[in-house]
Amino acid sequence: MVDATDATFQAEVLDSELPVLVEFTAPWCRPCEAIEPFLVDLGREHEGRLRLVRLDIDANLRVPSRYGVLSLPTVIVFAAGEPVETVHGAQPRRRYAEAVERALAA
């Protein structure tokens, strides 16, 4: 999983040729820690077809504001530089897998 910042978000996510799953997180967010193994597993499962990026909302304020991130965890899947699916809160692995599958099929 790549750590992005406000400064690197364009290059890491929006300019990516692959779909990108972005986890908006913070060091104090326990539900974020709980879902991260699901996300890493999805990254392995779709290696070469999906990128994983993590963005710390405490250290980076512009990008979360731009995408309306108001709660953690928030996971947004981007394809061709556009958000295509958003998952709010800690959800079962299946929910993240479905979001990824829809982005890969698009």
Question: What is the spatial distance between Cα 62 and Cα 51, in angstroms, rounded to a whole number?
Answer: 21
Q: Which residues are catalytic?
A: 29, 32
Q: Which CA distances in Å does 7 have to 11, 47, 56, 97?
A: 9, 25, 12, 28
